[in-house]
Amino acid sequence: MNHERSSFLFQQAKAAIPGGVNSPVRAFKSVGADPLFIKKGSGSHIYDEDGNSFIDYVGSWGPMIAGHCHLDVIRAVQETMTSGASFGAPTVLETTLAGMVIDAVPSIEMVRMVSSGTEATMSAIRLARGYTGRDKIIKFSGCYHGHADSLLVKAGSGAATFGVPDSPGVPAEVARLTLTAEYNSLDSVRKLIAENSGAIACIIVEPVAGNMGTVPPREGFLEGLREICTNEGIILIFDEVMSGFRVAYGGAQELYGITPDMTTLGKIIGGGLPVGAFGGRREIMEKLSPSGGVYQAGTLSGNPLAMAAGIATLNIIKQPGFYEALAEKGQRVAEGIAKAARDAGYPIYSTRVGSMFCAFFSKGEVFDWPTASQCDTAAFSKYFLAMLNEGIYLAPSQFETAFISAAHSEDDIEKTIAAAAKCFKLIA
């Protein structure tokens, strides 16, 4: 498959953009290739500048749950654009989407819109600190919550991909306020709390970890976090930027029946446009300026185009049977890839929650960052490049989640499984 034009465009980009990309994992560096420059998307497919077509399992890293260029979303954005792209003033669209989010997500009684997932998590933590009067936070190894200073400590996603768990530029004074536990280990949480009694403002966690691959919570883990936080007066924040409206309409908290104090959202609620949100109990959210003293602001927060795209997307995905059909597709493709690996005698560990799935190149179970980090990333790179050559577009990192959309067809799934069978035989 020819990628000459993409490679040429990448060389041009590197002269103007650090590393040639505006987000590190896009660079394909960890898989030893140049990134593809995408020209357009339609349904389950994307098309690069060389004219190649790919079945897309990245979906803009999660937002494209209805597929690329869904007509309802395009129509909503076009109609909104005719009245203006941004005003820096309230619009009805903001209230409409806020109401839909509140109706859907169990923990959210009030919500504020922002422009990115990073902004959402950063703001939620500031609010938790302001509400509790405490400074320290607990996060989990391998969980990525955006690139705010306090969260780039043992982070997953791109940080894990590039082996930079603690970024230069993060002051030691800030980093010392971030305590790191192991995902799926309540004992590691209890130990940190015992050592920092009365000092923990919040625990932030991906209820389904999606930034070290797809790692589901073990039975009792989320329930245990809820109990610990209630007993210790700690704010429990579910980072559902990825899992929100993805694993269920009400997110992972609906799926698992655990209600956090606060939730961060992004991706799907913007229908592919830049967006984020954070919300929670009314008594906490009313501490936020201008109602309270905790300051947060954003010129483009609640952008009309993003709100319109989000409303249209949520109207699509709230239809009866949507998530059942999506999960069935996810199951077929994940199990099909796992079977292809077994048939080729190649060891992988397969995980899935709804329409999120991952093939870990590991002989053992993956349930936290230490077990995920043992994966054979060199073998994954060979698999990734072989699948790309077969027209299957996966995330260019072992430590990312794959996503299926409503637009993926039976033919797409069959082609993907056949391609996996061929690729596992090549690398076995």
Tokens 């002051």 locate to 171
Domain boundary among 283, 317, 351: 317
Which residue in 239, 261, 368, 412 is the catalytic one?
239
Same domain, 93 and 134: yes
pLDDT of 138 reads 95
pLDDT of residue 170: 80
Reported pTM: 0.95
225 and 163 belong to one structural domain: yes
191 belongs to the catalytic site:
no
Choose, from 144, 249, 323, 383, the residue flagged as catalytic: 144
CATH number of domain containing 352: 3.90.1150.10
Which tokens go with 76?
Answer: 């909503």
Q: Are residues 292 and 174 in the same domain?
A: yes
Residues 44 and 94 in one domain: no
Residue ranges of the chain with per-residue pLDDT less than 50: 156, 158-165
Contact 386, 47 (CB under 8 A): no
Shared-domain flag, residues 399 and 328: yes
CATH no. for residue 302?
A: 3.40.640.10
Contact (Cβ atoms closer than 8 angstroms) between residue 304 and residue 97: no
Both 62 and 79 in a single domain?
no
Q: Same structural domain for residues 183 and 254?
A: yes
Distance (Å, whole) CA 97 – CA 113: 9
Give yes or no: 323 in active site: no
Q: Strands (DSSP E) along 14-158, which ranges?
A: 38-42, 45-48, 53-56, 110-114, 136-140
Q: Tell me: do 309 and 342 sit in the same domain.
A: no
Name residue, tokens 């691959």.
Answer: 213
Q: Considering its fold, how many domains does the chain have in total?
A: 2
User: Looking at 57, 267, 383, 412, which residue is catalytic?
Assistant: 267
CA atoms within 13 A on the CB side of 208: 29
d(CA 230, CA 282): 17
Domain ranges, residue 123 = 71-317
The reported pLDDT for the residue numbered 168 is 80
Residues 134 and 233 in one domain: yes
Q: How many Cβ atoms sit within 10 Å of the Cβ of residue 344?
A: 18
Give the per-residue pLDDT at 244: 98
pLDDT of 165 reads 44
In this predicted structure, what is the pLDDT of residue 172? 77
φ and ψ at 48, to 5 degrees? -90, 175
Task: Please check whether residues 331 and 225 belong to one and the same domain.
Answer: no
Distance CA 341, CA 349 (A): 10
Model confidence pLDDT, tens digit, residues 192-244? 999 999 999 999 999 999 999 999 999 999 999 999 999 999 999 999 999 99
Does the active-site annotation cover 144?
A: yes
Q: Are residues 8 and 135 in the same domain?
A: no
Q: Residue 155: its pLDDT value, please?
A: 53
Structural domain ending residue among the three candidates 250, 284, 317: 317
Give the residue carrying structure tokens 């922002």.
114
Beta carbons of 362 and 374 less than 8 angstroms apart:
yes
Nearest to 206 by CA among 232, 177, 238, 229: 238
> What percent of the chain clears pLDDT 70, i.e. is strictly above it?
97
The three-class DSSP label of residue 141 is: coil
* End-of-domain residue from the set 271, 298, 317: 317
Name the token pair of 243.
Answer: 């899992």
Per-residue model confidence (pLDDT) at position 164? 41
Rg (alpha carbons) of the chain, rounded to whole number? 21
For helices 92-104 and 304-317, give the axis angle rounded to 10 degrees: 40
Place of tokens 């409409």: 96
Q: Residues for the chain: how many in total? A: 428
User: What was the pLDDT predicted at 173?
Assistant: 78
Burial class (CB in 10 A: 0-12, 13-18, 19+), 298: middle
167 and 34 assigned to the same domain:
no
